Amino acid sequence: MPTFRSAQRLGTRSHQCDATAGRSRRGVSAFTLLDGIGSSEKVRTWTRERAADLASAGVELGDAEAALRRVHAAAGAEPGRDTWGWEELPAAVAVLAVLRQDVLTVAWCGDSRAWHLSPNGELTLLTSDHNRAQERLDEGMAPRPGDRNTVTSYLGWHPMAPLNGGGSAKFGTAQIDGRLGRLVLASDGAYEPLESACDPMTGHLAGATCQQAAQRLASTAIYHARPQHIDNATVLVADLSS
Domain-by-domain residue ranges, the chain?
13-179
β-partners of residue 25 are 28
Write the pLDDT tens digit of every residue in 217-237. Answer: 999 999 999 887 899 999 999
- Strands 103-109, 113-117: pairing kind: unpaired
CATH architecture of structural domain 13-179: 4-Layer Sandwich (3.60)
Does the pLDDT value for residue 68 go beyond 80? yes
| Least confident interval from 21-25, 176-180, 192-196 | 176-180
pLDDT confidence band for 164 (50 / 70 / 90): low
DSSP output for 63-94: -HHHHHHHHHHHHHTSTTTTSTTGGGS--EEE
